């Protein structure tokens, strides 16, 4: 059996999504095929939806192949991961493992990441303006109920708010909220967290910015019980001047899509390969990517998988997105100082070492001395981690859990 999903694209400087093409999918397992529609191709401002998949604007049929359940990477990037699937499953009384990619494409969601939206109908409902969240604590406890599988007590408004933001990726509970007129990704605490994730993530984001890494605007909200909620301004949205609650959209793809991989192929990815693929796609990001790799080594962020690197379409074209999901792994002195990143670093594979990171610096367009200078700047900056923790209200006992996580990478 085959099913049709209509694919909508919001072009730069536009507020309204337009039908870009039709995706025909063989259920249950794919593959799928896509074709841009004539009305889209006839637009003067038409753009391909991604710099890698579906990157040619013509009316030919393009097959998806088998990866990502037969769904193009740029589509898969606009769908949720563990958390959003749990919310979807909860709302549809399904086991979360039965939620498929194409199932998630039947229902439009104006808040999904990037500039795409999907529907099983050939039009989108009029998009409602998003409103401020007044009671963050209630939303956090509603998310906890979903995590606990105990959602009987959720009221309709809580369900609506959680479902509305549930298309964003990642495993941790989260939603999208309007705050001070801007759109933010809000990452919630969860029962059983070993430390205050929100405060630590904010501290690391500030630390990254201090060494020259581009990061989104961020804020912390304190819940009545003292735990934090981490707000990260949506870098794929831009407020429409003079129209409160309306946003322009920017296209998004993950590094997984840039490399053309399936979700199960993360281990085949590497920073030098991302730099090479970006260059081929006309994106110049070698220096920034290298800085992020060195930073992840210095702060022991070993969750730097291919979905934790992204690219967005700005007016000037595609570029690396601001850095997100920077989270050090707790480690106390005595725990092995040897660890691997989630993707390859250099000639010695995923090993998180200076030597390994220097071994492929040329593929980032850097000379040896430019690469070494990055180590110097990052190591100096990271040595101040305790100040950043304290400034974000990380407690002394939480900070101690990271006393072996930060290292100087100087020879
Ligand atoms: N500021 C932002 N603006 C727009 N999109 C963002 C922003 N921050 C993160 N994202 C997107 O949301 C997704 C989920 O965010 P994030 O990676 O921080 O969540 P997570 O649950 O901690 O993820 P993981 O499962 O990797 O631990 C990211 O993969 C990225 O696509
Ligand atoms: Mg993530």
Q: Report whether residue 303 contacts ligand 1, using a CB cutoff of 6 Å.
A: yes
pLDDT single digits (tens) 212-224: 999 999 999 999 9
pLDDT of residue 332: 87
Residue 243 burial (CB < 10 Å; 0-12/13-18/19+)?
A: exposed
Q: Report whether residue 227 contacts ligand 1, using a CB cutoff of 6 Å.
A: no
Say which ligand is closest to the CA of 168.
1
Q: Report whether residue 170 contacts ligand 1, using a CB cutoff of 6 Å.
A: yes
Average pLDDT score over residue span 128-150: 87
Please, which pLDDT band fits residue 381 given cuts at 50, 70 and 90? very high
Distance, CA 85 to ligand 1 centroid (Å)? 15
pLDDT single digits (tens) 18-55: 999 999 999 888 899 999 999 999 999 999 999 999 99
- Which residue bears the tokens 């690396």? 320
CB contact set of 214 (below 8 Å; sequence gap of 6+)? 288, 320, 322, 323
Query: Which helix (DSSP H) or strand (DSSP E) does residue 120 occupy?
Result: none
Domains of the chain: 1-179 (no CATH), 237-400 (1.10.1070)
User: Does the predicted TM-score (pTM) go above 0.75?
Assistant: yes
Residue 320 burial (CB < 10 Å; 0-12/13-18/19+)?
A: buried
Q: Can you name the residues that pair with 117 across neighbouring β-strands?
A: 8
- Whether residue 31 is preceded by a cis peptide bond, meaning omega within 30 degrees of 0, is yes
Distance, CA 103 to ligand 2 centroid (Å)? 22
CB 294 within 8 A of CB 376: no
Q: Out of 87-96, 226-235, 254-263, which region has the weakest mean confidence (pLDDT)?
A: 87-96
The share of the chain scoring above pLDDT 90, in percent, equals 86
**pLDDT of 117 over the 90 cut:** yes
φ, ψ of residue 377 in degrees (nearest 5): -65, -45
pLDDT of residue 130: 75
CB 120 within 8 A of CB 4: yes
pLDDT of residue 325: 98
Q: Can you name the residues that pair with 229 across neighbouring β-strands?
A: 221
pLDDT of residue 6: 98
Mean pLDDT across the chain, nearest whole number? 95
pLDDT of residue 251: 98
Query: Which helix (DSSP H) or strand (DSSP E) does residue 18 occupy?
Result: strand 18-26
pLDDT of residue 308: 98
Distances (CA, A) of 369 to 288, 300, 362, 375, 409: 16, 23, 11, 10, 15
Distance, CA 402 to ligand 1 centroid (Å)? 22
Residues with CB under 5 A from ligand 2 (ion): 170, 308, 325
């Amino acid at each position: 059996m085959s099913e049709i999903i209509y694919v909508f694209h919001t072009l730069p400087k536009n507020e309204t999504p337009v039908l870009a093409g039709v995706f025909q999918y063989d259920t249950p397992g794919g593959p799928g095929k896509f074709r841009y529609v004539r009305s889209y191709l006839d637009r003067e401002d038409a753009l391909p939806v991604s710099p890698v998949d579906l990157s040619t604007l013509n009316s030919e049929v393009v097959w998806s192949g088998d990866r990502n359940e037969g769904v193009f990477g740029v589509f898969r990037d606009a769908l949720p991961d563990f958390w959003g699937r749990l919310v979807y499953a909860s709302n549809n009384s399904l086991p979360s493992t039965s939620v498929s990619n194409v199932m998630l494409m039947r229902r439009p969601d104006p808040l999904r990441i990037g500039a795409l939206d999907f529907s099983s109908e050939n039009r989108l409902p009029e998009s409602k303006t998003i409103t401020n969240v007044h009671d963050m604590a209630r939303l956090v406890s509603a998310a906890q109920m979903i995590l606990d599988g105990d959602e009987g007590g959720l009221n309709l408004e809580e369900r609506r708010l959680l479902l509305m933001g549930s298309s964003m990726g990642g495993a941790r509970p989260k939603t999208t909220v309007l705050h001070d007129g801007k759109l933010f990704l809000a990452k919630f605490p969860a029962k059983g967290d070993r430390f205050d994730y929100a405060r630590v993530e904010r501290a690391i984001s500030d630390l990254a910015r201090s060494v020259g890494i581009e990061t989104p605007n961020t804020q912390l909200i304190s819940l009545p019980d003292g735990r934090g909620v981490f707000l990260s301004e949506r870098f794929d949205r831009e407020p429409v001047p003079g129209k409160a609650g309306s946003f322009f959209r920017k296209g998004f793809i993950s590094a997984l899509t840039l490399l053309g991989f399936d979700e199960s192929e993360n281990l085949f990815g590497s920073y030098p390969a991302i730099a090479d693929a970006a260059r081929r796609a006309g994106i110049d990001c070698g220096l920034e990517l290298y800085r992020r790799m060195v930073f992840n080594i210095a702060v022991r962020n070993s969750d730097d998988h291919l979905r934790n690197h992204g690219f967005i379409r700005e007016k000037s074209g595609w570029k690396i997105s601001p850095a997100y999901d920077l989270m050090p792994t707790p480690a106390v002195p005595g725990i092995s100082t040897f660890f691997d990143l989630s993707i390859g670093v250099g000639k010695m594979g995923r090993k998180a070492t200076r030597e390994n990171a220097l071994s492929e610096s040329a593929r980032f367009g850097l000379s040896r001395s430019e690469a070494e200078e990055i180590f110097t700047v990052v190591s100096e900056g990271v040595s101040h981690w305790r100040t950043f923790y304290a400034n974000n209200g990380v407690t002394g006992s939480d900070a101690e859990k990271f006393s072996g996580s930060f290292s100087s990478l100087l020879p």
